[in-house]
């Protein structure tokens, strides 16, 4: 039986990115509807049943539904792993990345269980979210690698710009981390009885805002520097997409703050955080190339063009 085509593998890798992002957004919906303890224990929903009972109807169904979506996510990432294992020639880097994404699922399940059993302790909730961000990042790398070869990486931008890109990615990580502290210090705890960090929400929000401004400043500087140095179009385009996503995310963030955190905007901000991470990862990934995928004919001088269209 022939193995999957590179296009099939690439589509499954993209599905892994989407599925990991979807589980973050639906998990946010659980918190925003105060359904975090709709199933008060784990791995069962109640002490005696696997599914919600009438006593926990409503919130229980929302929480249990999110748990069930984990199976859909598992199916997608397992299908991706099977595809990269069966692909010929087998590409070891893709297999390792796919395994890492798969292993993240049980790790998330255990961490989610700890979060429930500790009554939605804000620090475990933060860890649960940040692990999801790591998995999304790995899925993005996997997707990008399916569209390029396995040769040694070669920078397509000047070294200072590459370092600036890595610094920008670090700024994204810091912004996400502090953003979780903001969430853990404010309302929408997931349950009325859940604890908070004890930090002043206004002070933490100011730190988060400062990091956002730093991130946007770095992104603007990087885009102009890429344009000024005639960087490959794919890199410039990725940096432009990042700027657009950041601008939208900043607008949502400021609006939700001044409108007292309406649920719909908080949910949109959560989705935006995933998109910022994805866009930032793509900028750094486009700053180097590894040649064409084995088995795909490329005319001399076209390796850069292939890299430009690989994501």
Q: How confident is the model over 182-197, as a mean pLDDT?
A: 79
The confidence band for 54, taking pLDDT boundaries of 50, 70 and 90, is: low
Higher pLDDT, 214 or 300: 214
pTM of the predicted model, to two decimals? 0.89
DSSP 114-153: HHHHTTS-HHHHHHHHHHHHHHHHHHHHHHHHTTS-SSPP
Angle at 148 between CA 143 and CA 150, to 5 degrees: 110
- Any idea which of 75-79, 109-113, 238-242 has the lowest mean pLDDT? 109-113
Question: Domains in the chain: how many in total?
Answer: 2
Q: What is the pLDDT, as a whole number, of residue 30?
A: 87
Question: Same structural domain for residues 61 and 162?
Answer: no
Q: Which residues of 184-193 are buried (b: 16+ CB within 10 A; e: fewer)?
A: bbbebbbbee
Contacts (Cβ under 8 Å, ≥6 apart) of 38: 30, 52, 56, 58, 59, 60, 61, 62, 63, 64
Q: What is the pLDDT, as a whole number, of residue 272?
A: 95
Question: Same structural domain for residues 236 and 254?
Answer: yes
Question: Same structural domain for residues 113 and 167?
Answer: no
Q: What is the pLDDT, as a whole number, of residue 33?
A: 84
189 DSSP assignment: -
pLDDT at 296 over 80: no
- Domain membership of residue 269 as a residue range: 151-311
| Domain final residue, candidates 111, 146, 181 | 146
CB-CB neighbours of 110 under 10 Å: 12
| Domain final residue, candidates 86, 118, 146 | 146
The confidence band for 10, taking pLDDT boundaries of 50, 70 and 90, is: very high
Question: Same structural domain for residues 186 and 200?
Answer: yes
pLDDT at 126 over 70: yes
Q: What is the pLDDT, as a whole number, of residue 295?
A: 55
Question: Same structural domain for residues 304 and 183?
Answer: yes
| Domain final residue, candidates 114, 146, 178 | 146
Question: Same structural domain for residues 120 and 259?
Answer: no
The confidence band for 244, taking pLDDT boundaries of 50, 70 and 90, is: very high
Question: Same structural domain for residues 55 and 173?
Answer: no
- Any idea which of 9-23, 228-242, 247-261 has the lowest mean pLDDT? 247-261
Q: If you compute the radius of gyration of the chain from its CA atoms, what whole number of angstroms results?
A: 21
Q: How confident is the model over 153-161, as a mean pLDDT?
A: 94
């Amino acid at each position: 039986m022939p193995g999957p085509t590179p296009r099939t593998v690439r589509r499954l890798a993209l599905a892994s990115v989407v599925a990991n992002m979807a589980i973050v957004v639906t998990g946010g919906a659980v918190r925003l509807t105060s359904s975090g303890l709709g199933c008060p224990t784990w791995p069962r929903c109640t002490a005696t049943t696997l599914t919600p009972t009438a006593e926990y109807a409503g919130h229980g169904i929302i929480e249990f539904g999110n748990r069930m979506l984990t199976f859909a996510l598992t199916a997608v990432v397992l299908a991706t792993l099977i595809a990269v294992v069966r692909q010929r020639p087998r590409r070891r880097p893709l297999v390792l990345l796919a395994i890492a994404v798969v292993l993240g699922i049980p790790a998330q399940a255990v961490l989610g269980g700890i979060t429930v059993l500790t009554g939605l302790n804000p620090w475990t909730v933060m860890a649960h979210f940040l692990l999801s961000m790591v998995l999304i990042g790995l899925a993005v790398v996997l997707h990008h690698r399916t569209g390029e070869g396995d040769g040694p990486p070669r920078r397509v931008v000047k070294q200072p710009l590459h370092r600036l890109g890595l610094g920008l990615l670090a700024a994204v990580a810091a912004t996400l981390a502090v953003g979780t502290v903001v969430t853990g210090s404010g309302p929408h705890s997931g349950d009325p009885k859940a604890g908070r960090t004890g930090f002043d929400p206004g002070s933490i929000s100011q730190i988060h805002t400062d990091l956002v401004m730093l991130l946007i400043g770095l992104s603007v500087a990087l885009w102009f520097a890429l344009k000024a140095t005639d960087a490959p179009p794919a890199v410039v385009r990725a940096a432009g997409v990042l700027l657009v996503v950041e601008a939208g995310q900043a607008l949502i963030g400021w609006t939700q703050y001044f409108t007292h955190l309406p649920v719909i905007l908080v949910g949109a901000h959560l989705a935006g955080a995933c998109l910022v991470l994805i866009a930032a990862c793509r900028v750094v990934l486009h700053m180097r190339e590894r040649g064409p995928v084995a088995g795909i004919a490329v005319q001399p001088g076209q390796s850069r063009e292939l890299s430009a269209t690989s994501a």
